[in-house]
Structure 1
């Protein structure tokens, strides 16, 4: 479990630092990601996954915060999943802004790789009346 934990913590630091090579490292070529912004059908493949990051990194350079607050891992022999909460907000935003993250991993040639990511924010409940 420690190798998966380290992989995801390294990924999160790379997201915060805007390091595209490290963000995309340890992902399968056919990775699927469902993200907060469109496209709503998600992105499929490493090239499409890679293409989603430049806009986020630009926002991140404005002083935004991205840091893991919790991480839980369940590991099997050749598949694993993890879920995490991350603080993801403008630097001056002291609200909760907790991003929910889920990872699906596969062991390929003895090494863990991320095959699926899901990022989401909870919807604020609004009273329709």
Structure 2
């Protein structure tokens, strides 16, 4: 593993730990001011900018207070000179949700760029697979 991969792995691991602890300042750390995020709940057009990104977390923290898990299961990173991306699977759900669907994983994709010699998250995408069994929306 390269030094850059180690740096990015640490950044993502710290972020996931901060999410699980409901530590908003730590969740926001290492994100660009112009972050774009597409998330599971609305708005479906995503959010743009650090202030909009910040506003998405309190409802998630409220939901997570029900005892939900937020844990990285797998993480892969590809690094270029000034751009990197990562994709991960996370265990994310309440005990009841995970018992009903133990195979369900939150999918996470991150786009990072190097700014002032440090890696910053510029794009974040969260999704769950459509388990409805319907292919009509493709």
Shorter-chain TM-score range:
over 0.9
Partner deviation per Cα, 1:20-71 (whole Å, 9 max, x = no partner): 0111100000000000011011000000000000010011111110000000
Q: Which runs of 4+ in 1 moved over 2 A?
A: 91-94, 125-128
CA drift of 1:125 comes to 3.8
Alignment of 1:68 onto 2:72: yes
**Gapped regions of structure 1 (runs ≥ 5):** none
Higher helix share: 2
Change (3 A) 1:125 1:77: same
CA RMSD of aligned residues (A): 1.2
User: What residue is the counterpart of 1:117 in the other structure?
Assistant: 124
Structure 2 runs not aligned, ≥5 long: none
> In the alignment, which residue of structure 2 is the partner of 1:35?
39
Alignment counterpart, residue 57 of structure 1, candidates 49, 61, 65: 61
In structure 2, do the counterparts of structure 1 residues 86 and 41 end up closer, same or farther at CA, with 3 Å as the change threshold?
A: same
Equivalent residue, structure 1, for 2:86 = 82
Q: What TM-score do you get using the length of structure 2 for normalisation?
A: 0.89
Give the Cα–Cα distance (whole angstroms) in 2 for the partners of residues 81 and 126 of structure 1: 30
Confirm or deny that 1:108 pairs with 2:115. Answer: yes
Q: Match for residue 24 of structure 2?
A: 20
Q: TM-score, normalised by structure 1?
A: 0.95
Q: Secondary structure at the match of 1:52?
A: helix
